[in-house]
Structure 1
Amino acid sequence: MEESHVHKKLALTAAVDVIAGNANLLYEILLCLPARSLIRFSIVCKLWFSIITSMQFRLSHCRTLAFSNALPLSGIYFYNCLTNLQKIESLALADNVTSLPPLQFLDQFNLSIGSADEVTEFKVTQSCNGLLMCIFTARSHVGTIKRGIVYNPANKEVLLLPTPYKKYDGCICYNLISDPSEPPYYKALCVTRLGGWYSNIDVSVYVPGSNSWRSSCRVAAHDMCYDSGVFWNGAIHWIGEFSSVYFDVNSEKVATISMPPRPQGYCSEKIRYFGEWGGHLYLIQVQSLYAKKFNVLELDKDTWKWSVKYRVHLARLISAFPEMVQQTSSGIQYAISILSVIRREKEEDSVLLLTIPGKVVAYNLVRKTAKVVRELPGEVANTLHFNHVSAYQYTESLFPVQKWNIIPK
């Protein structure tokens, strides 16, 4: 009996050795593992390291997950308060993820400030399929520099994008498009206003491996902010209070989308959320800051029309968390920020992820129940300052961001 057990153990060991030493077989097995595991396994031996860190494997891994619809959403990064852009919080949403990688990437650049009177700002502005777009701004008596930075929190890879302009005039916005299903896999966009606020805009494209930006198209300006687009259905979408436009990745043309009717009521900024989840694009508009009811709208991929997906009434939530109620000079307002619409496989599990003073709350869109999922450290200074670009999804990915000499097939 003991001898049989020894033989089985030896056979198993031999099988493991065969797999570990067979690069082709190992390659196919490693493709099925999540990014977090692969990062740890890259230190097992030289063979594993060479496979996992190769450009071809990393792109194949991203494509495999994309085609199988298995891109795991690990969590959300969000700003606790928009008045303190150096402090960003995180919230893990996957069952097998306890925490997200800390965003301590500023030190990696070792950027030279240049003079003592410069003030630097560093902010996450967008997320797309595991990559973050960040903006670095430095101001001094001699001028202002605004640079885009592509960052992968999973493997801590960073790419400081080249300067797309000769002189910065304050009207520069960066965006990110990453799609592992087809080359060139990711692009960076720079949107520049050619004059004043209502002048035309120029959209330039940067592709990894190149040394400069390429002017793509020039279009009439729209009354919206271009610094935090949402990638959905093969295009990056920008939204304003009265209009919405998108930049198609393949044709590199800008087109408009009809906006749904604005809710009646006195409130200049009615958009409280605009984002994507699981292939669905959502929009939330409110009548006012003291509105208890609002609708969650979804854009149809075929008709490009907005329709009501969920109806939300916050009466129960306000009753359970009276700290949401704030008395202001304009009357009673509710301190609430919408981080994300989370659509689950089972409709009854879909939730609205919210922040209220001191807490992150998951509000079930079907059952109309609420659950505290995170206590926020310290005090949230005026939650009403939150807007629809304060939260960014995070997906574990081996997506490469460094300059590429060759794009693997």
Structure 2
Amino acid sequence: MSSSRAKIKKTQNTPRNCLLEAYLVDYDHQLNQSAALIGSNDDLLTEILLRLPAISILRFKSVSKHWRALLSHRQFTLRYDRVSICRGLYASFSHLYIPFDAENKSSPPLSKLDFYPDPNGIRIIQQCNGLLLCGSNVWIPRRGCRYYVFNPVTKQHVVLPMVRGGWKVRKHIRFIGLAYRQSDPVSYKVVCIFRPKRDGEVFYIQIYSSKTGEWKIANESFSTPHYRRFGEGVYWNGAILWPPSCLDPLYFDLNVEKFKKLPLPSASVASLEGLDLVDIPFYFGESRGHLHLVELAHPEKHFHLNVYEMLCDHSGWFLKYQVDLDELSITYPEMIISYAHPSFKQMKIISNQDLSSPKYYFYEVLDVVRGDKEEDTFMVVRIPSKIIRYNILDKSFKLILDIDFKFLGRIGYNGVHRYIETITSF
């Protein structure tokens, strides 16, 4: 505005120019008053700042002492983290970022994990409400892995102490997972499950608490006659759960530190009578406080999926969505392949039972993302060389990323993690 007034002064001082200059002065005055009003009203300022990306919040802390105090206050941090948006997926093995918004692609949030000078490099094990549980890339004899809790937005990290019991325990770790719930004060837990060979089928648990900074040995243990598969654990509603892989799956309730029986959807139980094992579901994960399990709706309908949601008390499942991917398969016929390509060995491939004309159907559900509104809920589906965003309710879909063939077989279910912005300090 000052440059505009300078130009007016250089011209003849006509009544019209005087009127325009007076208007600009008044406009500047009103603008300054509005800025002062917003800057002095913490409630109004908070509502505006809550809608900004995390990187802007961190930068705005340097505006003034008042802004720094406001943006660092735990009340603001809690509100921001509870409305924080999942902006995409990060494939840790290939360092590939998959943004959900194809029109507004952002740069990868993590170019590399170099927050700690680990000589063996660092990999992501799990994401939980914005925080990452990471571990050393290489398992070192006599020491095992070093583990970290890391916030990729603030770059803050904590190096976890070694689990108790020395090498005899560390070499038999079968699972380690993070449990973080936005709370005041900030606290998180890490659950470690191990099975020493000397005890055969018995599994034991240790729990690390950020409040104490130490591991403790839990009283709970359990045994199983078959090897129990621990995939990537999901923290939800005070418990760590795993994709069911047997007819008697369990979950670990952190509130009472005990294993409890995880129910299966009724359709799964009815179709698996007499079997000891079940297929790993197409997808098992949490979004906006909802736990989902995705399965094939019918063995002969290869593109029809059921999305189940678990009840809040862990007592059972209900059918939330029925998804029909037939139209997607018509648009992208590469989902139907005539033979199993060697690169697809580790992927979810469904084959028909007609041996005279065998066909294979390749696709993966990488994520189920709940929106602010039901109509905004979508799936992230991977097909050969492409990743698709599929709207569950209106059945619309769009390409969000083309991927090179070299990435096939490397962006698997266990290697994909959500990128959620959190400004939590711990």
Does the alignment pair 1:296 with 2:307? yes
Q: Deviations over 1:339-363 (max 9, x none)?
A: 1112334434432211111111122
Percent same amino acid among aligned pairs? 26
**AA at the equivalent of 1:233:** N
8 Å Cα contact 1:174-1:227 kept in structure 2: no
Q: Deviations over 1:319-372 (max 9, x none)?
A: 221222230397432221111112334434432211111111122323334321
Alignment length, in residue pairs?
A: 378
Query: CA 1:216 to 1:13, structure 2 compared with 1: closer, same or farther past 3 Å?
Result: farther
**AA at the equivalent of 1:337:** E
2:95 maps to 88
DSSP-derived class of the 1:281 partner: strand
Q: CA deviation at 1:131?
A: 1.0
Query: Equivalents in 2 of 1:350, 1:15: separation in Å?
Result: 37
Query: Equivalents in 1 of 2:395, 2:107: separation in Å?
Result: 28
**AA at the equivalent of 2:97:** S
**AA at the equivalent of 1:234:** G
2:283 maps to 273
Query: Equivalents in 2 of 1:310, 1:14: separation in Å?
Result: 50
8 Å Cα contact 1:74-1:97 kept in structure 2: no
Determine which of 229, 240, 259 is the counterpart of 1:254: 259
Query: Equivalents in 2 of 1:169, 1:195: separation in Å?
Result: 10
8 Å Cα contact 1:193-1:201 kept in structure 2: yes
Query: Equivalents in 1 of 2:70, 2:108: separation in Å?
Result: 23
Q: CA deviation at 1:100?
A: 5.6
Q: How does 1:210-221 map to 2 (within 5 A)?
A: 210-221=212-223
Does the alignment pair 1:138 with 2:138? yes
Determine which of 365, 372, 390 is the counterpart of 2:392: 365
Q: How does 1:2-401 map to 2 (within 5 A)?
A: 2=21, 6=25, 9=28, 13=32, 32=50, 34=52, 35-45=54-64, 48-49=67-68, 52=71, 54=72, 57=73, 59-65=74-80, 70-78=83-91, 85=93, 87-93=94-100, 98-99=105-106, 101-113=108-120, 122-140=122-140, 142-143=141-142, 145-165=144-164, 166-167=166-167, 168-195=170-197, 199-208=201-210, 210-221=212-223, 224-226=228-230, 228-242=232-246, 243-260=248-265, 261-262=268-269, 263=271, 269-286=279-296, 291-302=302-313, 304-326=315-337, 327-328=339-340, 331-382=358-409, 386-387=412-413, 389-401=414-426
Q: Deviations over 1:55-103 (max 9, x none)?
A: xx2x33332236xx52322222235xxxxx2x13222336996426532
**AA at the equivalent of 1:307:** F
8 Å Cα contact 1:203-1:216 kept in structure 2: yes
Q: Deviations over 1:33-76 (max 9, x none)?
A: 54232112133356645664x5xx2x33332236xx52322222
Query: CA 1:149 to 1:280, structure 2 compared with 1: closer, same or farther past 3 Å?
Result: same
8 Å Cα contact 1:299-1:305 kept in structure 2: yes
Larger Cα-atom Rg: 2
8 Å Cα contact 1:129-1:394 kept in structure 2: no
DSSP-derived class of the 2:76 partner: helix
Which gives a bigger RCO, structure 1 or 2 (Cα 8 Å, sep 6+)?
1
Query: CA 1:277 to 1:322, structure 2 compared with 1: closer, same or farther past 3 Å?
Result: same
**AA at the equivalent of 2:60:** F
Query: Equivalents in 2 of 1:377, 1:156: separation in Å?
Result: 30
Q: Deviations over 1:202-254 (max 9, x none)?
A: 33222225442122342214554445221222222223312433333333333
Gaps of 5+ in 1: 80-84, 114-119, 402-409
Query: Equivalents in 2 of 1:183, 1:229: separation in Å?
Result: 24
Query: CA 1:105 to 1:3, structure 2 compared with 1: closer, same or farther past 3 Å?
Result: same
**AA at the equivalent of 1:392:** H
8 Å Cα contact 1:275-1:283 kept in structure 2: yes
* Larger mean Cα displacement after TM superposition, 98-107 or 261-270: 261-270
Q: Deviations over 1:176-215 (max 9, x none)?
A: 1121234443222222224479633333222225442122
Query: Equivalents in 1 of 2:206, 2:151: separation in Å?
Result: 22
1:404 maps to none
Q: Deviations over 1:362-402 (max 9, x none)?
A: 2232333432121124433348x833x3332222111124x
CA RMSD of aligned residues (A): 3.7
TM-score by length of 2: 0.75
* Larger mean Cα displacement after TM superposition, 324-333 or 131-140: 324-333
DSSP-derived class of the 2:329 partner: helix
Query: CA 1:148 to 1:28, structure 2 compared with 1: closer, same or farther past 3 Å?
Result: same
8 Å Cα contact 1:247-1:255 kept in structure 2: yes
DSSP-derived class of the 1:291 partner: strand
DSSP-derived class of the 1:318 partner: helix
* Larger mean Cα displacement after TM superposition, 35-44 or 334-343: 35-44
* Larger mean Cα displacement after TM superposition, 129-138 or 177-186: 177-186
DSSP-derived class of the 2:359 partner: strand
Query: Equivalents in 2 of 1:97, 1:155: separation in Å?
Result: 23
8 Å Cα contact 1:139-1:145 kept in structure 2: yes
Query: CA 1:347 to 1:71, structure 2 compared with 1: closer, same or farther past 3 Å?
Result: same
8 Å Cα contact 2:379-2:390 kept in structure 1: yes
DSSP-derived class of the 2:144 partner: strand
